[in-house]
Amino acid sequence: MRNLRYLLYIAILIVLLTLPIYTGVYLLNVMDMILIYLALALSWDMLVRSGQISFGMAGLFGVGGYAAALLHLNAGVNPIFSIVLGGLAAGVLAWLIGMAVLQLRGMYFAIVTLALAEIFRLIVRNLPDLTGGPEGTVLPSSIFAGNSTKTYWLVLTVAAVSVMASEIFRRTRIHFALTSIRNDEIVAKSSGIDVFKYLVFIFVITSAIQGIAGGAYAHIYGFVSPEGSFSVDFTLLPIAMALLGGMHSTWGPVVGALLLGVASEFLKLKIPYGHLLVYGLIIVITILFFPQGIVGTIGQKLKKTHTA
Amino acid sequence: MAILKTENLTRLFGGLAAVNHVNMEFRENEILGIIGPNGAGKTTFINVIAGIYLPTEGKIFFNGQDISELQAHKRCRLGIGRTFQLVRPLQGLSLHENVMVGSLFGKGLSQREARKKAEELCEFLGLSDITRDITRMTALEIKKMEIAHALATQPKLLFLDEVMAGLNSDETMEMIDLVRKIHSQGVTIGIVEHVMRVIRELTDRVVVLDWGEVIAEGPYAEVSNDPRVITAYLGEEA
């Protein structure tokens, strides 16, 4: 059973890696977008496992994007390395903010992250000398000179790193710490868990992933702008994806990102701008009828038939 | 030797003193009963000792070390364990995993070691059928799981906060035996309980709290005849 599962993973990995051989540029571009959202959905879910809900993904995504783009443009940093530094910048920022904001819980934390994302956008917008102000900054060229195969491999790497990070979180003591904190902080503390340290740690890691995704996005499209890089889409879509697929797991957000990503691409063609309405509907239906998401619901069904 | 000592320990909530100038001593390897009417401050006392609340005034010494300002998770690692009056199983974790949390973080064991420890503890407490869904366990099983969780941190001093509540008389007998078993392993125990039979059978000494203050202290037989204690429980004679 276990070997079979590993074989399946390897098969999926081979299909994903060799995708450029049998598909065209259009599908690769769609995949790029889906994989970036997949990384964001996973990073959101990883924080949710501690019970803290962030609405600030767009903020850290934008910060990572701007950091990567500006480091490349002004300091001549290699694009790939600048993406890593974008993640680092988001991580360091999250650490500084987290030390203060992670005293808050639940709704209060969520609202503050939402406000912070907006504050980052406004700061970037009002520093024209550094960031290009409201118009943003255009890079001399897209990464890999726009080569769609290499670009795809880059975002595939970003997504793979997120999946690996999520699995590490699932399989190590971090899983026990986060689940305890989500259930009951007093019990967690009384079991020897340094609650604040774990919350800061997970906030930094997930923010770094968001920063890396933002850096990749900036280099793929070759420009950054306050409205584009900090778009609320980067907060709302990943949440919808994680909810649809199922929270507190790796495969939930992955499945959600693939389904909703493909659906959104299709809907954009059929009903331009109407796709947001469909997202809303999907979220409502998911929460009402299968709050554990697709993966969670199927998992439960399997468990039941297994024990029956 | 006192394993835990409080000096003038006070915890205010607004103007209300839930714990009021308490001087208490836990002697090494004794079973100390903490009793008192509802709202006397028993659970708050445990919460202040465990570090969930910081004291407003006064000091706490554990093995001679001043822990008054120490964070809760550090007190756990030093060896202060506790169960909760309202049981709090961790949803999303199995029975064994619930217990593992204690030794993973309280003792810094690896997952493999923690799992082994959890299996031992569950066996020690007579918890079987380990794959069972924790949402379907009986009251006794959940209480045992809580105790196993606390024991997994390998406490030197263990607080049991009303572990007998909600148990029938057979189950209470079983629990009394378990507390004795735990005690015989060298754990000092502080037990908060409303069931007087439990206090009578288990404790070496009893401290009575009322309105956050210690109103009596001594062996159960003495304390239970103390007029102040009787008044606290039954009220003033009209």
Nearest CA to A113 out of A173, A55, A66, A68 is that of A55
Dihedral sign, CA of A277, A280, A284, A290? positive
pLDDT at B70: 96
Q: Which residue of B has its CA nearest to A171?
A: B111
Whether residues A192 and B77 touch (CB distance < 8 A) is answered with: yes
Whether residues B76 and A190 touch (CB distance < 8 A) is answered with: yes
Distance (Å, whole) CA A133 – CA A130: 8
Whether residues B101 and A182 touch (CB distance < 8 A) is answered with: no
Instruction: Look at residue A12 and tell me if it is in a domain.
Output: no
Q: What are A167-206's pLDDT values in tens digits?
A: 999 999 999 999 999 999 999 999 999 999 999 999 999 9
Instruction: Look at residue A9 and tell me if it is in a domain.
Output: no
Instruction: Look at residue A247 and tell me if it is in a domain.
Output: no
Q: Which residue of B has its CA nearest to A304?
A: B133
Dihedral sign, CA of B121, B124, B126, B130? positive
Question: Hey, is A224 helix, strand or coil?
Answer: strand
Q: Which residue of A has its CA nearest to B103?
A: A191
Nearest CA to A49 out of A207, A199, A267, A228 is that of A199
pLDDT at A270: 83
Instruction: Look at residue A270 and tell me if it is in a domain.
Output: no
Cβ-proximal residues to A257 (8 Å cutoff; 6+ apart), any chain: A34, A35, A37, A38, A41, A42, A238, A241, A245
Tell me whether residue A217 is exposed, middle or buried, using C-beta atoms within 10 angstroms of its C-beta: 0 to 12, 13 to 18, 19 or more: buried
Contact pairs from chain A to chain B, CB under 8 Å: 71
Cβ-proximal residues to A286 (8 Å cutoff; 6+ apart), any chain: A243, A244, A293
Q: Give CA angle at A60 (A55, A64), nearest 5°.
A: 160
For residue B59, the distance in angstroms to the closest alpha carbon of chain A comes to 20
**From A83-92, A225-234, B222-231, the region with the lowest mean pLDDT:** B222-231
Residue B129, token pair as written in the block: 């059928």
- Number of other residues whose CB lies within 10 A of the CB of residue B65: 10
Instruction: Look at residue A183 and tell me if it is in a domain.
Output: yes
Q: What are A30-86's pLDDT values in tens digits?
A: 999 999 999 999 999 999 999 999 999 999 999 999 999 999 999 999 999 999 999
CA B117 to chain centre: 21
Residue A84, token pair as written in the block: 């890593």
Instruction: Look at residue A277 and tell me if it is in a domain.
Output: no
Question: For the complex shown, is ipTM > 0.95?
Answer: no
Would an 8 Å CB–CB cutoff place A189 in contact with chain B? yes
Distance (Å, whole) CA A202 – CA A44: 10
Instruction: Look at residue A80 and tell me if it is in a domain.
Output: yes
Nearest CA to A89 out of A59, A124, A61, A64 is that of A64
Contact criterion met (CB below 8 Å) for B9 and B20? no
Contact criterion met (CB below 8 Å) for B99 and B149? yes
Helices (H), A172-274: 173-183, 185-190, 195-221, 226-229, 233-245, 251-270
Could you give phi then psi for residue B25, rounded to 5 degrees? -130, 135
Dihedral sign, CA of B119, B120, B125, B129? positive
pLDDT at A306: 57
pLDDT at B237: 57
pLDDT at A308: 45
pLDDT of A278 over the 90 cut? no
pLDDT of B238 over the 70 cut? no
Number of domains in chain A: 1
Distance (Å, whole) CA A150 – CA A71: 21
Would an 8 Å CB–CB cutoff place A103 in contact with chain B? no
pLDDT at A160: 96
CA B136 to chain centre: 25
Whether residues A248 and B92 touch (CB distance < 8 A) is answered with: yes
Contact criterion met (CB below 8 Å) for A282 and A260? yes
Tell me whether residue B15 is exposed, middle or buried, using C-beta atoms within 10 angstroms of its C-beta: 0 to 12, 13 to 18, 19 or more: exposed
Residue A163, token pair as written in the block: 């999946």
For residue B21, the distance in angstroms to the closest alpha carbon of chain A comes to 24
**pLDDT category of residue B163 using cuts at 50, 70 and 90:** very high
Q: What does pLDDT average to over chain A? A: 92
Q: Where are the beta strands (DSSP E) in chain B?
A: 2-13, 16-27, 31-35, 57-62, 65-66, 80-82, 157-161, 188-192, 205-210, 213-218
Q: What does pLDDT average to over chain B? A: 92
User: What is the average per-residue pLDDT within A249-262?
Assistant: 93
**Structural domain boundaries, residue A155:** 25-231
Instruction: Look at residue A255 and tell me if it is in a domain.
Output: no
Of A173, A179, A186, the CB nearest to B93: A179
Distances (CA, A) of B151 to A151, A188, B142, B145, B161: 53, 14, 14, 10, 14
Whether residues B90 and A173 touch (CB distance < 8 A) is answered with: no
Q: What are A99-148's pLDDT values in tens digits?
A: 999 999 989 999 999 999 999 999 999 999 999 989 999 998 888 988 99
Whether residues B104 and A176 touch (CB distance < 8 A) is answered with: yes
Q: How much is the pTM?
A: 0.93
Nearest CA to A155 out of A206, A221, A97 is that of A221
pLDDT of B232 over the 80 cut? yes
User: What is the average per-residue pLDDT within B194-221?
Assistant: 93
Q: Give CA angle at B195 (B79, B227), nearest 5°.
A: 100
Of B72, B88, B111, the CB nearest to A173: B111
